[in-house]
Amino acid sequence: MADNYDDYSREELLRELRLRDRRPRFGLVWERKEIEHEKAVNDDFVALDFDPALSCGVAPYRNLIIEGDNFDALRYLRMTHAGKIKCIYIDPPYNTGNRDFIYNDRFVDKEDAYRHSKWLEFMYRRLQLARDLLAEDGVIFVSIDDNEVFNLAPLMNQVFGERNFIATVIWQKVYSPKNTAMHFSDDHEYVLVYAISRDVWRPNPVPRSETQTNAYKNIDNDPRGHWKASDMTARNFYSKGLYEVTGPTGKKFTSGTRYWRQSYESFLELDKDNRIWWGASGNNVPALKRFLTDVKQGVVPQTLWKYEEVGHTQDAKKEVQEVMQFEDTASVFSTPKPIRLIERILRIATKPDDIILDFFAGSGTTAHAVMKLNAEDGGNRRFILVSSTEAIEEQILPSPPFSKGGEKSAPLFTKEGAANVVANNEANGGSITKGKINNPDTNEETKTPSFTKEGVHSSSPPFEKGG
Ligand SMILES: C[S@@+](CC[C@H](N)C(=O)[O-])C[C@H]1O[C@@H](n2cnc3c(N)ncnc32)[C@H](O)[C@@H]1O
């Protein structure tokens, strides 16, 4: 959307107005002019100050953590990683109105008349930048709940194109209903999935769940192993699919109102090879034996993700406590995601050498999931995490606004969490460096020549670039 009308000539303005009048109005609209401009959204030059003291392993570092506003971090990454990221996972503030979303150093509360517009503007600016980082076969997964899902979906359509919508995943986040709920127990969240190109992106199969594997049995002790009976008929017309077969006991079967999937010749071949199951008594409708060894190693991802498979919120909280020693972890950091949830995403969307980006990283669950999956499949996936420092209660109570970057901020959790994970995975080739966003144009302290300060050099950052 153009917002530099001051520079337009009268003719240009008239043309713009006529164009606008002709344009059909459908899609998402939010109050862009009415809300205060976000301070982070500017054209200032961005650099990164690297902190060797907070790095582990040796340069060039494989993984990168950036502390600071993700608008700046994404602009920085556009210089180093445009088109190089295979998978983005984000878990942005849900805009609950309950001190989770900060806009211009203030919490946005439920009474704020522009709360949805502020959130949409905030997200729009960042998603636009994020899109440029994704590879042609890249994909983005966004966690969200009911507070904004109905606004986020049209926003995603706008940024990534409706045609590139892949799925809305339902994640069952709790293991028991909340009986104190006034209306419904809120048991799930969503993960919206969009590709850069729906035609190009393909998911990897996910491993079969225990329930799915348990459906394969070997009741006739077939030496080829476990199998599952599957229907041999289909609804679609098949010219060779109309015949009668005779079972081992002499009982005859037709395909009824449907069609056999195989020709008569193929049916007889399968039967000869003991690949048809007529039931223990030999009297049942014939079914095809599908062997576990014959089916693909995994299954196509489904949109319903149950906590038994990917974890629930309590799992996630426990996991955070395990990697962080911070007395206020639980209260400051209340919305982590379970590692298995992110691992499922990585399994679906990444290959062993891919780069994964999370620009609302929080406690660094994404780093943990990347390292875990690498350890499992011998991969070399790398991560880039971005997060601002967490605001803590004492900053909020007296009188907002407060500064997220101020002295009182809690330590950047991603550093603590992710570095612990990486340190424990040193054998897996883990190395990590951390940079702080720095705007030399506006930051008096570091104005000159912060570029080469403490190992920072714009042309050769000490981490492995995408490629
Ligand atoms: C919901 S939490 C993410 C939790 C994360 N998935 C985990 O498992 O720990 C959102 C995070 O984004 C951070 N954040 C919010 N606004 C940000 C911004 N403009 N730039 C960078 N980080 C931001 C918050 O500080 C918070 O840590």
Q: What is the pLDDT of residues 384-408, one digit of tens each?
A: 999 886 654 443 322 233 333 333 3
Torsion over CA: 402, 365, 100, 130 (sign): positive
Closest to 158 (Cα-Cα) out of 119, 131, 191: 131
Cβ of 466 below 6 Å from ligand 1: no
Please report whether residue 467 resides in a domain: no
Distance 91 CA to ligand 1 centre (A): 7
List pLDDT tens digits, range 107-132: 999 999 999 999 999 999 999 999 99
CB of 62 closer than 6 A to ligand 1? no
Q: What is the pLDDT of residues 206-236, one digit of tens each?
A: 988 888 888 999 999 999 999 999 999 999 9
Judge if 167 and 286 occupy the same domain: no
- Measure 4 CA to ligand 1 centroid, in angstroms: 31
Contact present, 385 and 418 (Cβ < 8 Å): yes
Q: What per-residue confidence (pLDDT) applies to 145?
A: 97
362 Cα–ligand 1 center, Å: 4
In a domain, 464, yes or no: no
Name residues whose C-beta falls within 8 Å of residue 87's C-beta, 6 or more positions apart in sequence.
Answer: 138, 139, 140, 141, 345, 346, 349, 350, 354, 356, 357
Domain co-membership, 245 together with 375: no
- Judgement on whether residues 355 and 418 belong to the same structural domain of the protein: yes
Domain match, 193 and 56 both: yes
Instruction: Report the DSSP pairing between strands 287-291 and 276-277.
Output: antiparallel
Greatest Cα-to-Cα distance within the chain, rounded to the nearest angstrom:
92
Tell me, using a 6 A CB cutoff, whether residue 118 lines ligand 1: no
Quote the distance between the C-alpha of residue 182 and its chain's center.
31
On whether both 196 and 271 belong to a single domain, the answer is no
Choosing from 291, 314, 334, the residue where a domain stops is 291
Least confident of 76-80, 332-336, 458-462: 458-462
Pairing of strands 106-107, 188-195: unpaired
Distance from Cα 338 to the centre of ligand 1, integer Å: 15
Using the 3D structure, point to which of 291, 314, 333 is the last residue of a domain.
291
d(CA 7, CA 26): 28
Tokens of 50: 């690297």
Q: CB burial class (10 A; 0-12, 13-18, 19+) of residue 323?
A: buried
- Rounded Cα distance, 49 and 435, in Å: 5
- For residue 285, report the distance from its CA to the centre of ligand 1, in Å: 56
Total domains in the chain come to 2
- End-of-domain residue from the set 249, 273, 291: 291
Does the beta carbon of 365 lie inside 6 Å of ligand 1? yes
Determine the Cα–Cα distance for residues 132 and 341; give it in Å rounded to an integer.
25
Res. 420 pLDDT band, cuts 50 70 90: low
Summarize pLDDT for 20-33 with one digit per residue, the tens: 888 777 789 999 99
CA pair distance 157, 15, nearest whole angstrom? 27
Pick from 171, 388, 421, 439 the residue to mutate for probing ligand 1's pocket: most ligand atoms within 8 Å of its CB.
388
pLDDT at position 63 is 86
Surface-to-core class of residue 139, CB atoms within 10 Å of its CB (0-12 exposed, 13-18 middle, 19+ buried): buried
Q: Of 462, 457, 464, 372, which Cα lies nearest the Cα of 418?
A: 372
The token pair at 332 is 């400051």
User: Do 187 and 224 share a domain, yes or no?
Assistant: no
In a domain, 466, yes or no: no
- Ligand 1 pocket, residue 335 CB under 6 Å: yes
What is the length of the chain? 467
Query: Buried b vs exposed e over 360-396: b needs ≥16 C-beta within 10 Å?
Result: bbbbbbbbbbbbbbbeeeebebbbbbbbbbbbbeebe
| 103 Cβ closer than 6 Å to some ligand 1 atom | no
List the residue whose alpha carbon is closest to atom 2 of ligand 1.
362
The whole domain housing 230 covers 210-291
Cis geometry, peptide bond prior to residue 461 (ω within 30 degrees of 0):
no
